[in-house]
Structure 1
Amino acid sequence: MSDDLQASAAVGDATNPCSLVHQFFTTDTSFIQETPGDLFDAPDGAAIIHACNCKGAWGAGIAAIFRKNYPAAFEVYVQHCRAFKESPSSHNIYDLVYSRVSRFRSVNLPLGTALIIPPQERDIAIHSRRHWVVCLFASDGYGRHVDSSEKILSSLSAALKHLNEQLILLRMQAQRTGSEHPLSLYSNRFCTGLFHVRWELICDMINSIGLPINVCFPYTASTTGGRRGRLPVRLRSTEGNETGGQ
């Protein structure tokens, strides 16, 4: 984020993404549990969340580990990106760096959406767990072409809301039909690495939407960062009952 943007946030500039995140997403309730551990050791039935680009590439950072651990899910992700490349479509998302004309911005799909990939048999054979993989489309490009952190905040906000909507539908469907659905949500501190977004802003979004996410960090961080592990949180049914997890 530029120095000018940080300075304007200090005086409450309404056009600054930091101000707008705190204005529209701040809540006193925390749905995030941070605990030391390996993200990929999440329990059976968990959904593993990470942020993605829209180009069908998991080539660096934690995305490369996802590609190694979930090759079948990667193929689903690639096909999803390819489908929108071959048949382009767009939608409007709320722009945290809006102009005075409109607070919405038109973006090409799948940017600003979430893809929930069910457990794939080939991936289950690798680590003996039924993990769902969630792709949050937060940046159109990657590497030198990654979106600005301000644009990523807007796209991530839309993607998290879309994820929540889909999770509600999956739980409702499971209640009616007994179908499989994610039992818990796990992630790392997504978007803070190669996408360069401040974690506290992402936390505001997650807590405002009400997504109960277990955030894993390396064991070494528990001694150097002063963070203490807590029991994992689980998704709840639409009636408020716990539906699973470990």
Structure 2
Amino acid sequence: MYNALCREHGDELIGTCFLIPGEKHYIACLFTSRAYGRRKDKPTEILAATRLALQDLQRQNKDGRKLHACRFNSGKFAVPWQDTEAIIKELEMEMVVYDPVTT
């Protein structure tokens, strides 16, 4: 779905949040980079888009649903988690963030 949306809407999606309704929960897709792998945006661009996408999520979450997330941006985008976490704190968002178990 992500790739199809990107192909159709391109750059206009960056910095936005797309909510997918489910039976019990919503899935939030934060568009924070134009690509991934070697073509991913620079960390500063990803963080700027993350701030906008989280603000969009806040606007859409009018009924105050509880938010849960993985450490987004820190995997394939290689942005240090602390940088993304700082934006979440700056926006005063309450979010349960799951830390991957390392073995």
Give the TM-score of the pair, scaled to structure 2. Answer: 0.85
3-state SS, counterpart of residue 76 of structure 2: coil
State the partner residue of 2:72. 190
Any idea what the Cα deviations from partners look like across 1:107-144, whole Å, max 9, x if unmatched?
Answer: x310011111111xxxx5xxxxx221101100011222
The answer to whether structure 1 residue 109 and structure 2 residue 12 are counterparts is yes
State the partner residue of 1:56. 2
Return structure 1 stretches of 4+ with deviation > 6 angstroms.
none
Residue 82 (structure 1) shift: 4.5
Structure 1 residue ranges without an equivalent (≥5): 1-54, 58-77, 86-107, 125-129, 172-181, 225-246
Q: What pairs with 1:125-140 in structure 2 (closer than 5 Å)?
A: 130-140=24-34
CA contact (8 A) 1:164 1:209 kept: no
Q: What pairs with 1:87-98 in structure 2 (closer than 5 Å)?
A: none
Any idea what the Cα deviations from partners look like across 1:131-184, whole Å, max 9, x if unmatched?
Answer: 21101100011222111111111111111111111112xx2xxxxxxxxxx631
CA distance in 2, matches of 1:211, 1:189: 14
State the partner residue of 2:42. 148
Residue 203 (structure 1) shift: 1.3
State the partner residue of 1:161. 55
The answer to whether structure 1 residue 205 and structure 2 residue 87 are counterparts is yes
Change over 3 Å in CA distance of 1:205–1:137 after alignment to 2: same
The answer to whether structure 1 residue 118 and structure 2 residue 21 are counterparts is yes
Give the TM-score of the pair, scaled to structure 1. Answer: 0.38
Residue 196 (structure 1) shift: 1.0
3-state SS, counterpart of residue 15 of structure 2: coil
CA distance in 2, matches of 1:82, 1:153: 22
The answer to whether structure 1 residue 215 and structure 2 residue 97 are counterparts is yes
CA contact (8 A) 1:149 1:197 kept: yes
3-state SS, counterpart of residue 117 of structure 1: strand
How big is the alpha-carbon RMSD for the aligned residues of Structure 1 and Structure 2? Answer: 2.2
CA distance in 2, matches of 1:183, 1:155: 22
The count of aligned residue pairs is 103
State the partner residue of 1:20. none
CA contact (8 A) 1:112 1:136 kept: yes
